[in-house]
Amino acid sequence: MFFTYLRRELRRRARAAFAIALGLALGTGLVVTVSSVATGTGQAKGQVVQSLYGRGTDLTVTPAASPPKADFTAHPAGPAEGDDHVTVQGGQSLDSSVVSRVRGQSGVADAAGGLGLRIVKGGGHDSRGRGQSLPAGADSTGEINGQHGFGGYGGVTAGHSAGAARGGGQATADDYRAYGVDVSHPGIGPLTAVTITSGTGFSAKQTDDKVAVVDRDYARRTSLSVGTALTVHGSTFKVIGIATAADPTADVYLPLHQAQALANAPGKVSTVYVRATDPGHVGTAKSAIQHNVPGIRVTTSAELAAHVTGSLSTASNLASTVGSWLSATVLAAAFLAAGLLTWSAVGRRTREFGTLRALGWSSGRVVRQVVGEALVNGLIGGALGITLGLAAAYALTTASPMLTARVGSADRLPHIALTAPVNATTVMVAAALAVGGGLVAAGVGGWRVSRLRPADALHRVE
């Protein structure tokens, strides 16, 4: 009897039921869409950080900020005419002994050092970092608001840097970036974020070998391929692999010892990449490193992600602020409308409910009937809203609009495709909100029905 009466009343009052369900659907659909966009922007930020840190890196250790130096080059006397100009990115470095000290701290599973270099071929001068204004909020070490641009790497554009130093007397200069990686720890560091498309990567035995892995875009610009020779500052390296990455850390990757030799910086690293024993132990590892290793700055991947700027950051802020407020407003309006429409529907059905009471229906049975109708409206609204939200998220993912992202003082703006993944939690929350809207309507209608007396109902005309 309950379901028969319920089905008949929903069909008879389909217009009012549809209005309630549609309001709840708009609210829940917005919740699904906004939540999926927020998840997508969060994942995109993680991709940006991963391209800089590499997969599996939870923290980076870099030199603490210090007053700027007059000359950042590793060759105080200056390079000879026609020779390459090699500098350590950021002008600061750490002793490689810091790597072993970090590796021994509580909460640390592994650590590896890296050395970032900037190379201007043909003896061109390093025009970036001298006589040039810093970005807004940046200090003399290349940091913005206390955060290192690329885990302390310095932030010179990959892919966009070639020819950046051209002009004036530097017309033949070729400006690019190299990075020295610890080949004995292949599972941590920037190389974990690249894919070898041709040739091979480094092996643990190539610590002192003069070999190089070259980014694909840089290889195309310079006509390099597997097996060809790359000359850097008088040293010849054999290209053993071509790599690609969404946002490459460098144009050329070298064994760490070779990079140190090129920069005349033996036993030095610019960044220490750290993997925690467990994601929940990142805070423990950071505290231990800061307490036991002086003269360093420790940055977590989450902290760096919070400093991502560009259109990606704008989209994230819109999703977390405007989108959230809009969803909350629409949901509140839907709840209010559902309650008012149910209140009005009960008022129009006064005679009907009074007749049912006079025929022997208890007050509780009438209330259950009204509550059941309201809950069904909520379920219909939830199903429709989740469908709309999934459709919007699918359309956004299919379109994959390209957003730009900047980290710290970097002058590169990598393009990240925005997606809108929907997880089970989002769907469950949306469904719960829709049912909650139905319960609000059910509570309003049930309260009014419970106060209805048969004698009062029968003398009113519907």
What are the DSSP calls for 213-240, one per residue? Answer: EEEHHHHHHHT--TT-EEEETTEEEEEE
Residue predicted with more confidence, 258 or 400: 258
Q: Is the dihedral of CA 179, 183, 189, 193 positive or negative?
A: positive
User: Is residue 384 scored above 80 in pLDDT?
Assistant: yes
pLDDT digits (tens, 9 = 90+) for 101-152: 999 999 898 999 999 998 887 654 444 433 333 333 444 334 433 444 434 4
Residue predicted with more confidence, 96 or 165: 96
Average model confidence (pLDDT) across the chain: 75
Q: Give the predicted TM-score (pTM) of the model.
A: 0.56
The one-letter code for the residue type at 201 is G
- Which three-class secondary structure state does DSSP give residue 445? helix
Residue predicted with more confidence, 375 or 211: 211
Residue 386, token pair as written in the block:
């989740």
Q: Which residues contact 402 (CB under 8 A, 6 or more apart)?
A: 415, 416, 417, 418
Distance CA 129, CA 134 (A): 8
pLDDT digits (tens, 9 = 90+) for 299-351: 887 776 555 556 666 766 677 777 778 778 887 888 888 788 777 777 777 77
CA end-to-end distance (rounded Å), the chain: 23
pLDDT (mean) for 237-266: 89
Distance CA 213, CA 237 (A): 10
Least confident of 40-54, 234-248, 279-293: 40-54
User: Is residue 164 scored above 90 in pLDDT?
Assistant: no
Distance CA 111, CA 97 (A): 11
The one-letter code for the residue type at 111 is A
DSSP letter string over 129-181? Answer: TSS-PPPTTB-TTSEETTEETTTTS----SSS-TTTT-STT-TT-EEEEEEEE
pLDDT digits (tens, 9 = 90+) for 441-457: 878 877 777 766 666 55
User: Is residue 237 scored above 90 in pLDDT?
Assistant: yes
285, 261, 258: which is closest to 272 by C-alpha? 285
Cβ atoms of 296 and 61 within 8 Å: the answer is yes
54, 60, 61, 64: CA torsion to nearest 10: 110
Distance CA 146, CA 143 (A): 6
296, 232, 228: which is closest to 264 by C-alpha? 232
Counting every residue written for the chain, the total comes to: 462
**DSSP code for 68:** P
The one-letter code for the residue type at 72 is F
Residue 87: C-alpha distances to residues 160, 169, 213, 405, 426 (Å): 18, 19, 19, 26, 49
Residue 406, pLDDT score: 60
User: Is residue 71 scored above 80 in pLDDT?
Assistant: no
pLDDT (mean) for 162-175: 40
Residue 137, pLDDT score: 40
51, 55, 28, 93: which is closest to 327 by C-alpha? 28
Query: To 5 degrees, how large is the angle CA 73–CA 125–CA 212?
Result: 70
219, 227, 285: which is closest to 252 by C-alpha? 219
In the numeric block, the tokens 């009438």 are attached to 366
Radius of gyration of the chain (CA): 32
Q: At what angle do helices 424-450 and 322-348 cross, to 10 degrees?
A: 30
pLDDT band, residue 180 (cuts 50/70/90): very high
Cβ atoms of 66 and 59 within 8 Å: the answer is no
Distance CA 250, CA 33 (A): 36
Cβ atoms of 282 and 57 within 8 Å: the answer is no
Residue predicted with more confidence, 413 or 304: 304
% of the chain exceeding 90 in pLDDT: 19
